[in-house]
């Protein structure tokens, strides 16, 4: 069995490569720059990009881990169908269907529709917020103060490694065709709680300062984030004040182990905040 991993140097795809190789699967890893990619020697490293579907090496592929790229997904589907590929596991997001014009769910939803309509044996993975988003706080953590809006917004952040492990599991085992899995971390935690966890695990004082919505919005827009996307993110925080997220338990069910906690993630990424 050969599995093509698109986005093989991406934040999730790179970990999917490792998970599949550990499972003893033949991996074809897609990258635009093999030398810089530094992928494991056990993987078959090939040059290509989802952004240019004609470069995709699909011959001899049994299944695909599909990174989300709405702009070219329909052409990918055409080429994969012509190549006889039946199985596609697509990375999507829990924001699918929320309807906000700035939502990431619009792109994820377009990918899901294209893959479903193409007739593949599909599985969709819909993780929520990533623990890795906290890396954006690294400078503030080092300075001893994290300033953000909606400190009591409560979400269920997930470790990228758990997403990759689920992807590898559903690619290599039976019973997942036609399933949509909403993935979360094992605990609900507020932004303020994340700062407290960083303080505890890192063993340093980190103050929390709450920004107003307008202050946060101006900051992110100043960083170049599109205004519609900023409003969608802030609306999401506000929603979790009213309706705190709760863990879905899907990671634990599929992997047979506990998902990575936020404290464990911080410990594993200690050097980033040092």
Nearest CA among 185, 196, 193 for reference residue 246: 185
This prediction's pTM: 0.96
Q: Is the pLDDT of residue 105 over 90?
A: yes
Q: What is the pLDDT of residues 179-225, one digit of tens each?
A: 999 999 999 999 999 999 999 999 999 999 999 999 999 999 999 99
HSE at residue 180, side-chain half, CA atoms within 13 A, is 12
Contact, 30 vs 7, CB < 8 A?
yes
Q: What is the pLDDT of residues 53-95, one digit of tens each?
A: 999 999 999 999 999 999 999 999 999 999 999 999 999 999 9
Classify 61 as helix, strand or coil.
Answer: coil
């Amino acid at each position: 069995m050969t599995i093509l991993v698109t986005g093989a140097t991406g934040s999730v795809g790179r970990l999917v490569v490792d998970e599949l190789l550990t499972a003893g699967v033949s991996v074809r890893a897609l990258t635009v720059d093999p030398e810089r990619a530094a992928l494991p020697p056990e993987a078959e490293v090939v040059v290509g990009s989802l952004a240019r579907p004609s470069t995709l090496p699909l011959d001899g592929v049994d299944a695909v881990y599909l990174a989300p790229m709405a702009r070219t997904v329909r052409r990918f589907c055409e080429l994969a169908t012509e190549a006889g590929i039946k199985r596609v596991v697509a990375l999507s997001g829990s924001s699918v269907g929320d309807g906000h014009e700035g939502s990431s769910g619009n792109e994820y939803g377009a990918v899901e529709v294209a893959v479903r309509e193409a007739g593949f044996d599909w599985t969709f993975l819909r993780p929520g917020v990533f623990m890795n988003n906290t890396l954006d706080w690294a400078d503030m953590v080092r300075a001893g103060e994290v300033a953000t809006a909606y400190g009591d917004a409560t979400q269920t952040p997930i470790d990228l490694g758990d997403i990759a492990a689920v992807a590898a599991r559903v690619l290599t085992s039976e019973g997942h065709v036609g399933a949509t899995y909403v993935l979360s971390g094992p605990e609900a935690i507020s932004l303020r709680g994340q700062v407290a966890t960083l303080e505890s695990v890192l063993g340093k004082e980190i103050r929390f300062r709450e920004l107003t919505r307008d202050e946060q919005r101006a900051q992110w827009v100043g960083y170049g984030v599109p205004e519609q996307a900023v409003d969608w993110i802030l609306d999401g925080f506000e929603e979790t004040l009213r309706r705190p997220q709760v863990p879905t338990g899907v990671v634990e069910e599929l992997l047979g182990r506990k998902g990575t906690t936020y404290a464990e993630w911080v410990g594993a990424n200690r050097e980033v905040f040092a």
